[in-house]
């Protein structure tokens, strides 16, 4: 499979990339890991005339923890780099998510910024980052601004980013003690997108739940969240009845698209299982239990 | 030292693990051009117009081909193996006037680079007039929409296989079990290397192919008349092939396009290398079978006495090789069971789907799955444990002549069952199953017994079409001592990963008393070596019998010559000579003395220094070509009776599967595979093929399906959607073997490798056992999470199974 002809430009700096993208306009795409873009080009679903390769811009792939317990992940950090980082060691749901994306080749090429920018509801990182209330630093011709992850995506494959504006960094707070998170994906095989996925983050004090976040991936045209579901658990214990009620609320908010990965009913059944499993794992992790919870394959 | 039954390092690995393999797409050549195929997005449509002007105007594009042009250039369309009216189908490698399946080539673009060829392809403008698509064989049989006007019907074959006293057996039956409909789904084997070819139609009229076709002996006979050349004008080579599993038997159609493109391009070599999406969409799928109105007669002990049923194969857009599948299943008519009375009404129909091609377990797998479903469904309905049901029905005396005249050479199915039970921990799982059921969990244990019939008698093709000039089987090997004393072997088999170089070297080393490292086996296949017959190729689980018998026979003839030569040189009698390795390498020596002559001396003498022979031994060349022919006769076409295959390897698998009640996820908790392929030449290679066949079968059973929508659009045309099995999906396989040597091969070995689709039978049986508490009967071979979810949902519906106790 060969893409239509295009011109290749390698950006040496963020400023250079932005000005080149601004100059080339609609006929250009920014290329990071190519996990999504190159496939689309090879299928000739997208035929840009220019590719601006941003992957070698220095300083944009750093993964660090800074003052105030804030995690900063450069947009060009690959899935594999994040899964191997100290952050993933501290936050098992980051490991669950990063190490379960596609296969080893893709994990060593695909970037977290690319996954966000593609606005594809099947991507794993956006779902997880919703549970951390992450904030994105974005830089464009008009300067730098921050965008909450929940506001990034307007519609499937469409972000609110302006022309030539790039995501440069992802930031979120490390949850306080007595917190736990989980990310559970279900997929047919390594190269397949998940059939469905669920992320949960919560804090338990005296068995009472707070700071609850639940998000679903591959469950609609964008990441699915539900304040109603979170409200069921907020300030309440993780009883079976509460978990069921919260699960039903978020599964009701989901709008899964029937396709060859399953009917709508089937996907709701998978989501139901994944949400319950993720709440269970998150709750047990609040108590310091070590649980391996990764993607599950058929 | 004996080399049979040992696992020396694979000779092939020396190059393959160093990245030094040589596959078709590795070939570079001066002036090499690249071909891109423009394919139909529709499954069924008239072609109104193909406009290639813009493509031809693109700099770097050398020429284009359209279907109409291909028809002009070919003296005749490809031969169909089936009888009339299907024989009248106009089968060109590119759609002519009408598209019959999604992905069918409609034009080709030849350019200086692959990227330019693809760019040119995007500029080809095709006007289509869409027609209704025919998606199932049952729908096709109604002939409301006829796909091939030249045939006048979609029904491409029909025949009744009847043996014994069927109706009497039903009259006497204690129980009759009726199953309305069963279905074996469509999938293929996903070779790691796609189809590819480099064709060069030289200006002096000779045509070279470097390809990865896995049955060149046959392909050349289809290509020559269609391209208007003689077989001898075609020089066909292969080298390394990354898997075929039968799928690459049928890539001769693309070989023809590349050849015609080379001719149009003035004789420059043209490479075509398929993409994965093209492979999944259009290279060939395994055949899909529907079983209707099945009735099973049983006696009071649960022994099956008769089966009657109606089977329909869906062969996709073109029958081509596929009508053979209408007979090949009958190699295993009663499966592993002693049933004597059968009436199977077998039909085949064309549909607007990718053409079906041979696929690992070809045609027998579908039938063996059918027989295993019968066994399990009857067992459950009669409340007989699945293991007990099998023991009551297994064939136990060998050689065994089946109702249609096939001779099962040897086997011991009860011993295999015992071994598999031991490997998996049967009793323990039975207890766990009882506990799980008490908790309301769905845990099933399934057995699958299957056969891998090998070394087929091509005479069975005449049961399908009496006019076909094929019968028997044969394979060739050449062996020589060259002028430097090296032992050189060439094979007709054209392997695609089955380690023929290694096992051949083991057989030669065994015969000559030397080491496999001292035997050079040339890689691949080459018509230029003169080591081929019409049956030459790697297919149908036969190399251990056909290929190695040819090697063995060649060794015997070579040894006879070497004995005569050494006796002359050493002035000794032939009886006193022995083969072995001495200080100066491989040699013949006089027993009990230090007199010896090495291979270098003998090779040089014959090839370089023959005056020393003083006119003696003029017929000794140390260059042997041997053809092995199994002892077959032509089957009785009227009765559909005869010995159709020489050896019957067997597999017995057991799986434990738990099904998630919430969304149907079938998790394999334990898996055991026991293999019997007679005398084992190389245990590591046999083990590899058993594991590979197990992975393919589990993949097919729980993941892989070619799913079409009602317009004939393939929904699973990429790895993301087709989901071939990966290591992440594989259970640990507990592997064991028994050996019942075949009395029909010189070494006791049986052909193996296809594996008989054992995991499909086994997974279906385990899913059935898990769901039986829900009253669900399994009648489809695909158990993806989504299909099991639907099964769980459908439990209130009638299962389509009736039991009539008399």
Options 2.40.40.20, 3.30.365.10, 3.20.20.150, 3.40.640.10; CATH for B156-188+285-459+635-796 is 3.30.365.10
Question: What confidence tens digit (pLDDT) does each residue in A259-274 have?
Answer: 989 999 999 999 999 9
Structure confidence at residue A143 (pLDDT): 97
Give the CA count within 13 Å in the CB-facing half-sphere of A222: 17
Is residue B225 predicted with pLDDT exceeding 90? yes
Name the residue facing A262 among B720, B726, B786 (closest C-beta). Answer: B786
Structure confidence at residue A82 (pLDDT): 98
- A145 inside 8 A of chain B by CB: no
pLDDT band at B797 (very low <50, low <70, confident <90, very high): low
CATH number of residue A17's parent domain: 3.30.43.10
Structure confidence at residue A191 (pLDDT): 82
Structure confidence at residue B456 (pLDDT): 96
Question: What confidence tens digit (pLDDT) does each residue in B149-177 have?
Answer: 999 999 999 999 999 999 999 999 999 99
CB contact under 8 A, B115 and A2: yes
Summarize the confidence of residues A105-123 as an average pLDDT. Answer: 95
Query: Which residue ranges does chain B devote to CATH 3.90.1170.50?
Result: 13-131+189-283
In whole angstroms, what is the distance from residue A231 CA to residue A213 CA?
10
**Which of A151, A172, A193 is a domain's end point?**
A172
Beta-carbon contacts of B597 under 8 Å, excluding residues fewer than 6 positions away, are B566, B569, B570, B587, B588, B589
On chain B, the residues whose CB falls within 8 A of the CB of A1 are 118, 275, 277
Residue closest to B336 by CA, chosen among B406, B424, B420, B425: B406
Residue for token pair 């050449």: B478
- A100 inside 8 A of chain B by CB: no
CB contact under 8 A, A188 and B662: no
Residue closest to B263 by CA, chosen among B211, B220, B199, B216: B199
**Nearest-by-CA chain A residue for B723:** A189
- B724 inside 8 A of chain A by CB: yes
**Which of A172, A199, A223 is a domain's end point?**
A172
What is the DSSP-derived secondary structure letter of residue B80? Answer: P
In whole angstroms, what is the distance from residue B806 CA to residue B299 CA?
10
Structure confidence at residue A296 (pLDDT): 81
Question: What confidence tens digit (pLDDT) does each residue in B355-410 have?
Answer: 999 999 999 999 999 999 999 999 999 999 999 999 999 999 999 999 999 999 99
- A188 inside 8 A of chain B by CB: yes
Options 3.40.50.10800, 3.30.365.10, 3.40.50.150, 3.40.50.970; CATH for B475-532+546-628 is 3.30.365.10
**Nearest-by-CA chain A residue for B665:** A298
Beta-carbon contacts of B425 under 8 Å, excluding residues fewer than 6 positions away, are B670
Structure confidence at residue A298 (pLDDT): 73
In a domain, A238, yes or no: yes
Is residue B795 predicted with pLDDT exceeding 80? no
Question: What confidence tens digit (pLDDT) does each residue in A220-231 have?
Answer: 999 999 999 999
- B713 inside 8 A of chain A by CB: no
CATH number of residue A123's parent domain: 3.30.465.10
Is residue B585 predicted with pLDDT exceeding 90? yes
Structure confidence at residue A297 (pLDDT): 80
Three-class SS state of B617: coil
Is residue A294 predicted with pLDDT exceeding 80? no
In whole angstroms, what is the distance from residue A46 CA to residue B269 CA?
32
How many domains, in total, are found in chain A? 3
| B364-382 and B758-771 helices, crossing angle to 10° | 20
In a domain, A73, yes or no: yes
Provide the mean pLDDT of chain A.
Answer: 95
On chain B, the residues whose CB falls within 8 A of the CB of A272 are 662-663
CB contact under 8 A, B785 and A298: yes
Three-class SS state of A241: helix
On chain B, the residues whose CB falls within 8 A of the CB of A258 are none
On chain B, the residues whose CB falls within 8 A of the CB of A102 are none
Question: What confidence tens digit (pLDDT) does each residue in B726-778 have?
Answer: 888 999 999 999 999 999 999 999 999 999 999 999 999 999 999 999 999 99
Which residue range(s) make up the domain with A26?
7-53
**Nearest-by-CA chain A residue for B708:** A260
State percent of chain B over pLDDT 90: 98
In whole angstroms, what is the distance from residue B751 CA to residue B412 CA?
17
ω into B533 cis (within 30 of 0): no
Same domain, A293 and A185: yes
Structure confidence at residue B49 (pLDDT): 98
Same domain, A255 and A198: yes
Same domain, A132 and A191: no
CB contact under 8 A, A189 and B275: no
State percent of chain B over pLDDT 70: 99
Name the residue facing B728 among A1, A189, A259 (closest C-beta). Answer: A189
Question: What confidence tens digit (pLDDT) does each residue in B433-476 have?
Answer: 999 999 999 999 999 999 999 999 999 999 999 999 999 999 99
Question: What confidence tens digit (pLDDT) does each residue in B659-698 have?
Answer: 999 999 999 999 999 999 999 999 999 999 999 999 999 9
On chain B, the residues whose CB falls within 8 A of the CB of A297 are 728-729
On chain B, the residues whose CB falls within 8 A of the CB of A2 are 114-115, 118-119
pLDDT band at B116 (very low <50, low <70, confident <90, very high): very high
Summarize the confidence of residues B219-239 as an average pLDDT. Answer: 97
**Nearest-by-CA chain A residue for B705:** A260
Structure confidence at residue B796 (pLDDT): 55
Same domain, A218 and A167: no
CB contact under 8 A, B662 and A5: no
On chain A, the residues whose CB falls within 8 A of the CB of B785 are 188, 195, 262, 266, 298
Summarize the confidence of residues B40-65 as an average pLDDT. Answer: 98
Interface of B with A in 62-101 (CB under 8 A): none
CB contact under 8 A, A189 and B716: no
In whole angstroms, what is the distance from residue B760 CA to residue B780 CA?
10
Q: Can you read off the two tokens belonging to residue B109?
A: 């673009």
Same domain, A192 and A86: no
CATH number of residue A209's parent domain: 3.30.390.50
In a domain, A58, yes or no: no
Name the residue facing A192 among B115, B723, B789 (closest C-beta). Answer: B723
Give the best residue of B185, B786, B790, B791 to mutate against chain A (max A CB count within 10 A): B786
Is residue B522 predicted with pLDDT exceeding 70? yes
What is the DSSP-derived secondary structure letter of residue B78? Answer: P
Structure confidence at residue B738 (pLDDT): 98
Provide the mean pLDDT of chain B.
Answer: 97
In whole angstroms, what is the distance from residue B368 CA to residue B385 CA?
20
Structure confidence at residue B1 (pLDDT): 62
**Which of A172, A201, A217 is a domain's end point?**
A172
Structure confidence at residue A196 (pLDDT): 97
CA distance B442 to chain A (A): 16
- A4 inside 8 A of chain B by CB: yes
Interface of B with A in 663-702 (CB under 8 A): 663-666, 702
CB contact under 8 A, B728 and A270: no
Same domain, A275 and A219: yes
Beta-carbon contacts of B594 under 8 Å, excluding residues fewer than 6 positions away, are none
Structure confidence at residue B799 (pLDDT): 75
Same domain, A153 and A229: no
On chain B, the residues whose CB falls within 8 A of the CB of A185 are none
State percent of chain A over pLDDT 70: 100
CB contact under 8 A, A191 and B720: yes
Is residue B592 predicted with pLDDT exceeding 70? yes
Structure confidence at residue A190 (pLDDT): 84
Question: What confidence tens digit (pLDDT) does each residue in B634-657 have?
Answer: 999 999 999 999 999 999 999 999
Same domain, A162 and A241: no
Is residue A293 predicted with pLDDT exceeding 80? no
On chain A, the residues whose CB falls within 8 A of the CB of B663 are 266, 269-270, 272-273
Question: What confidence tens digit (pLDDT) does each residue in A235-267 have?
Answer: 999 999 999 999 999 999 999 999 989 999 999
Give the best residue of A1, A2, A274 to mutate against chain B (max B CB count within 10 A): A2
φ, ψ (nearest 5 deg) of residue B324: -60, -30
- B115 inside 8 A of chain A by CB: yes
Same domain, A292 and A217: yes
- A38 inside 8 A of chain B by CB: no
CA distance A290 to chain B (A): 22
Structure confidence at residue A295 (pLDDT): 77
Interface of A with B in 233-272 (CB under 8 A): 259-263, 265-266, 269-270, 272
Structure confidence at residue A212 (pLDDT): 98
In a domain, A42, yes or no: yes
**Nearest-by-CA chain B residue for A194:** B720
- B501 inside 8 A of chain A by CB: no
DSSP A46-85: ---SEEEE-TT-TTSS-EEEETTTEEEEETT-BHHHHHTS
- A1 inside 8 A of chain B by CB: yes
Same domain, A190 and A293: yes
Structure confidence at residue B806 (pLDDT): 86
Q: Among A186-190, B247-251, B601-605, whose mean pLDDT is lowest?
A: A186-190
Summarize the confidence of residues B498-510 as an average pLDDT. Answer: 98
Is residue B318 predicted with pLDDT exceeding 80? yes
Is residue A68 predicted with pLDDT exceeding 60? yes
**Measured distance between the N- and C-terminal CA atoms of chain A, rounded to whole angstroms:** 29
To which CATH superfamily is domain B13-131+189-283 assigned? Answer: Aldehyde oxidase/xanthine dehydrogenase, a/b hammerhead (3.90.1170.50)
Give the best residue of B190, B658, B785 to mutate against chain A (max A CB count within 10 A): B785
Same domain, A159 and A187: no
Query: Which residue ranges does chain B devote to CATH 3.30.365.10?
Result: 156-188+285-459+635-796, 475-532+546-628
């Amino acid at each position: 499979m060969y893409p239509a002809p295009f011109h290749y430009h390698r950006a040496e700096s963020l400023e250079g990339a932005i000005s080149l993208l601004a100059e080339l306009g609609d006929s250009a795409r920014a290329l990071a890991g190519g996990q999504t873009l190159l496939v689309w080009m090879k299928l000739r679903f997208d035929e840009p005339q220019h590719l601006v390769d941003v992957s070698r811009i220095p300083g944009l792939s750093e993964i660090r923890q800074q003052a105030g317990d804030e995690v900063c992940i450069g947009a060009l950090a690959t899935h594999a780099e994040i899964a191997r980082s100290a952050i993933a060691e501290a936050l098992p749901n980051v490991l669950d998510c990063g190490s379960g994306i596609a296969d080893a080749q893709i994990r060593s090429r695909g970037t977290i910024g690319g996954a966000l920018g593609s606005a594809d509801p099947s991507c794993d990182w956006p779902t997880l980052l919703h549970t951390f209330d992450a904030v994105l630093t974005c830089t464009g011709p008009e300067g730098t601004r921050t965008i909450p992850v929940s506001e990034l995506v307007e519609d499937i494959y469409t972000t609110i980013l302006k022309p030539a504006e790039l995501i440069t960094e992802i930031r979120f707070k490390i949850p306080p003690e007595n917190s736990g998170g989980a990310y559970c994906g279900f997929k047919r095989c390594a190269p397949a997108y998940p059939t469905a996925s669920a992320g949960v983050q919560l804090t338990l004090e005296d068995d009472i739940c707070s700071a609850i976040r639940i998000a679903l991936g591959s469950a609609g045209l964008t990441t699915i969240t539900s304040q109603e579901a979170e409200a069921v658990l907020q300030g309440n214990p993780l009883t079976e009845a509460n978990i069921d009620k919260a699960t039903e609320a978020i599964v009701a908010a989901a709008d899964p698209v029937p396709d060859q990965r399953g009917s709508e009913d089937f996907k709701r059944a998978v989501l139901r299982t994944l949400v319950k499993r993720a709440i269970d794992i998150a709750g047990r992790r609040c108590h310091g239990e070590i649980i391996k919870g990764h993607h599950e394959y058929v | 030292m004996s080399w049979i039954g040992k696992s020396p390092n694979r000779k092939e690995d020396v190059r393959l693990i160093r990245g030094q393999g040589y596959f078709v797409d590795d070939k570079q050549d001066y002036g090499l051009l690249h071909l891109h195929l423009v394919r139909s997005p529709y499954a069924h449509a008239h072609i109104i117009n193909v406009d290639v002007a813009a493509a031809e105007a693109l700099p770097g594009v050398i020429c284009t081909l359209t279907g109409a042009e291909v028809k002009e250039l070919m003296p005749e369309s490809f031969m169909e193996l089936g009888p009339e009216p299907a024989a009248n189908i106009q089968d060109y490698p590119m759609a002519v006037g009408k598209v019959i399946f999604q992905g069918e080539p409609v034009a080709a673009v030849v350019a200086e680079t692959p990227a330019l060829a693809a760019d040119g392809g995007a500029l080809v403008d095709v006007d289509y007039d869409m027609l209704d698509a025919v998606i199932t064989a049952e729908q096709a049989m109604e002939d409301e929409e006829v796909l091939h006007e030249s045939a006048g019907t979609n029904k491409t074959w029909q025949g009744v296989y009847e043996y014994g006293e069927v109706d009497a057996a039903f009259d006497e039956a204690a129980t009759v079990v009726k199953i309305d409909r069963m279905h074996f789904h469509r999938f293929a084997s996903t070779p790691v290397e796609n189809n590819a070819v480099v064709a060069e139609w030289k200006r002096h009229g000779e045509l070279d192919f470097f390809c990865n076709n896995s049955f060149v002996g046959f392909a050349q006979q289809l290509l020559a008349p269609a391209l208007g050349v003689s077989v001898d004008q075609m020089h066909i080579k292969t080298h390394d092939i990354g898997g075929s599993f039968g799928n690459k038997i049928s890539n001769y159609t693309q070989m023809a396009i590349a050849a015609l493109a080379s001719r149009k391009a003035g004789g420059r070599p043209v490479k075509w290398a398929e993409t994965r999406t093209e492979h999944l969409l259009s290279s060939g799928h395994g055949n899909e079978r529907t079983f209707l109105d099945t009735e099973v007669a049983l006696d009071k002990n649960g022994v099956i006495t008769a089966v009657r049923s109606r089977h329909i194969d869906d062969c996709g857009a073109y029958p081509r090789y596929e009508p053979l599948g209408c007979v090949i299943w009958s190699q295993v008519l009663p499966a592993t069971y002693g049933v004597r009375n059968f009436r199977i009404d077998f039909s085949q129909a064309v549909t607007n789907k990718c053409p079906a091609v041979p696929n690992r377990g070809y045609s027998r797998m579908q039938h063996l799955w059918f027989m295993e479903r019968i066994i399990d469904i009857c067992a459950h309905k009669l409340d007989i444990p699945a293991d007990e049901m099998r023991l009551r029905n297994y064939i136990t005396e060998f050689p065994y002549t089946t109702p249609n005249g096939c001779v099962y050479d040897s086997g011991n199915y009860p011993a295999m069952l015992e071994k598999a039970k031991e490997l998996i921990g049967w009793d323990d799982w039975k207890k766990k199953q009882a506990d799980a059921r008490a908790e309301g969990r769905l845990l099933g244990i399934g057995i699958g017994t299957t056969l891998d019939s090998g070394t087929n008698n091509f005479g069975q093709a005449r049961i399908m079409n009496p006019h076909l000039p094929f019968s028997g089987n044969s394979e060739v090997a050449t062996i020589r001592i060259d002028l430097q004393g090296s032992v050189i072997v060439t094979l007709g088999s054209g392997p695609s990963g089955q380690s023929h170089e290694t096992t051949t070297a083991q057989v030669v080393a065994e015969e000559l008393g030397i080491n496999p490292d001292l035997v050079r086996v040339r890689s691949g296949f080459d018509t230029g070596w003169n080591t081929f017959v019409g049956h030459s190729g790697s297919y149908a689980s036969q190399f251990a019998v056909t290929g190695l018998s040819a090697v063995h026979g060649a060794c015997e003839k070579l040894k006879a010559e070497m004995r005569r030569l050494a006796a002359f040189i050493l002035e000794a009698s032939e009886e006193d000579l022995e083969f072995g390795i001495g200080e100066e390498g491989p040699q013949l020596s006089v027993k009990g003395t230090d007199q010896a002559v090495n291979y270098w001396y003998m090779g040089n003498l014959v090839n370089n220094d023959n005056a020393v022979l003083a006119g003696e031994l003029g017929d000794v060349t140390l260059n042997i070509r041997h053809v092995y022919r199994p002892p077959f006769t032509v089957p009785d076409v009227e009765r559909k009776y005869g010995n159709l295959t020489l050896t019957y390897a067997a597999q017995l698998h057991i799986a434990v599967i738990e099904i998630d009640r919430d969304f149907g996820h079938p998790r394999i908790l334990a898996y055991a595979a026991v293999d019997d392929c007679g005398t084992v030449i190389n245990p590591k290679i046999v083990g590899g093929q058993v594991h590979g066949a197990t992975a393919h079968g589990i993949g097919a059973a729980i993941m892989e399906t070619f799913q079409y929508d009602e317009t004939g659009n393939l929904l699973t045309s990429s790895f993301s959607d087709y989901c071939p099995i990966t290591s992440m999906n594989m259970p640990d396989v507990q592997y064991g073997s028994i050996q019942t040597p075949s009395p029909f091969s010189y070494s006791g070995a049986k052909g193996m490798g296809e594996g008989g689709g054992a995991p499909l039978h086994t997974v279906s049986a385990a899913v059935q056992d898990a769901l039986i508490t829900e009253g669900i009967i399994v009648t489809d071979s695909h158990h993806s999470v989504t299909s099991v979810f639907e099964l769980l949902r459908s439990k209130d519906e009638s299962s389509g199974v009736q039991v009539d106790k008399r």
